[in-house]
Each structure stands twice: as structure tokens, then as C-alpha cells.
Structure 1
């Protein structure tokens, strides 16, 4: 049950995020549907490739595809003011990240993968769709900015990989905590350390 609920939450959140970004960069209707679907399913597809799950399983999620298409359609038919409001209320990435990070870690844990694979599964499922979306819209991926993003997915993967969240209420709580942490870190501009290489100036 937790698996299905998080799958739906993540799909709706990322489909909406992808559609809003597509409209922001002035994609046409087909482009908006494509970007919305890629954002919703891209992370899971990459995860499956890396952990050896047949990619055909992606196409067996008919219900989720219908949910994603319905969500994208709603965004497309909304008035411009509503879309602008949704764009300012940038919480959809946080919801998608949290839901898919927990779901991706659960998936890897359920097939007895080692802890590193669980961390990877949580990270790529939670952030993969957003990375692909940003690359396709020629934006710097949010995952690789200073803003704390991917770290929260990895933490979710670690908690599940260690067996500290097993029961339904624990998994839902973890989803909520990761969501809150992501929103807070974005709101207050928390960042990870960076290192840059400066050009040597010659006289």
C-alpha cells in the first residue's frame, strides 16, 4: 500500500513539475506532455537500467501513465494566473523527490540489494527525472547546485537500507520528514560546500 501511494504522489508531483517547466520555456502541447512524462518516469527508468530490472516494466504501469497524462492535461488547461501561482509555489519537486526517494529505496531493499545500491536507487529515483528535465530545458540541474537536494534522498535511502523504517507509519513519517527538510533547506538557502578552480592571472 505504501509503495502504491508514494508512486502516485511522486508521479503527480513530477508530472506537474515537468509540465510547468515546459510551459515556462514555451514548449508546445506535445512537448509539454513529453517533458511531463519524462520528469515523472525518468528516474525510475534510469534506476531500472542500473540495477538490472527489465525496462519493459516501465511500460506496464498503465495506471500511472494515465494519472500522469491527466495531471499534465490539468496544468495545460489551467488559466495563466493559476500556472504562475503554481510555479511560484515550488513544492512539487520536493514532494516528488521525497516520495520517489523512499519508493526507490524500498524497491532496492525488497530485492535484497546492498546498501550502496539502495542509496543509489533512492537518489536516482528521487532526482533522476528532474535531472533529465533540466537538461532538456537547458537549465543547470537543481541536483548539482549548492541547494541541498540529493542529500535528502540519500538520507532516506540510508535509513531504509539500515532497516530503520519498515512499517507503513515509519515509511510515511520518513516521507514527511524528507519533504519538510527539503522545503526548509530551500526556504532558508541551505547549501553544501563547493570548490571552484580560479584562472591564474598572468601579468
Structure 2
């Protein structure tokens, strides 16, 4: 899955930051943030030593901050391209006094391919990735066979891949792709979906999806 042939799963739109977000960016990004392109090896990031959980597409970071606060013994790395979301996460990081969370801006696939050693991650989280709902855009979806094989190769033995989506068609694709990966085995609790785990915070986005009639599907697989 080389960078020259891969179709990006995201579109990067530059958006102005609010005054509060800009202040957080100016003061906290140099300490807690960085660009994927500047990371040679994930262990090189400053921060406490511990099992590393990588979150791909942290959005506005609300769930990310709560998970990092609830799991102080884990080292959390959030990768996102949406700068206002990263700035909002920096604000929550400061409010909660988190020291086990680092933020990266850029392409998570590039990070996995180039800077994450094999069998090194405790977990990978992908919550509500862009569903690219139009059929002609399905090829842009992140969860494809090559990506899942790459993510699985970066999990240490017993490490996990946790996905969630509110789009049934994408959930079915996730289930088929992950189940076909020989390096992964499904969580025994999946039948075929995983009951919503308490470890995944309930966000306003998810509450809105439920109000609009979209079921939330969780999947978890182990290396």
C-alpha cells in the first residue's frame, strides 16, 4: 500500500480557529503536538512510558480526552487532520491535566507504514471514520483489506483493533474485511457486533446519530 497509489481517506480543509483554539494551539501545540511527517519512530515522542494506544481520526477530541483521563497508565496518541479538532483537544487536555496524551497532525496510514514498528501497539481505535456514503467514493474508506493488514501487523500479540460506525453499510464492510484478515480474531462477545463497551465515551455526535435512527456498530478484533 504505497503512498503513490493509495487513495486518501480524508480531505484536508483549512478552517479558521476560534480565539480560544488559536491560543491553545499557540501555547500547547509545541508541547503536546507534532506533525506525522516529522516523526521518525513513534517511541521518539516525548511522554510517559507505557502501552501505546493509537487513535485514528480523533475528531473534536472529546472522547479521546475522556479515554486518556480514564486510562492514565496507557500512552495515547491521537492522529487527526482537522486542525480545529486538534485545537479543541488541546483545550480539553489542559482542562483535564493530561500528561499521557500526544497529538499528531497528518496521515495516520503514513505514520503506521513509516514510523510505527511491527508488534508495538497495544491498541488501535477508529471511531466513526468518514463513511464516504456515495458508492463511487467507497474506495476512499479507510477500512480496506490493505489497511487492516497494516494495522494488524503493528499490534503486539494480544493487541486489539476497535472500530465503531453509525453507517450500516460501512459496518458490514468493516466486519467482512476484518474477519477475512488472518492476523486478527474477533472478540468473543461479537454476535456479530460488539455490545457497546463502557470504555468508549458516549458523545454528542453518537447521540445525534441515534436520534436520527442510525444504529451504532462496534467491532473489536485481537492480534
TM-score, normalising length: structure 2: 0.30
Richer in strand (by share): 2
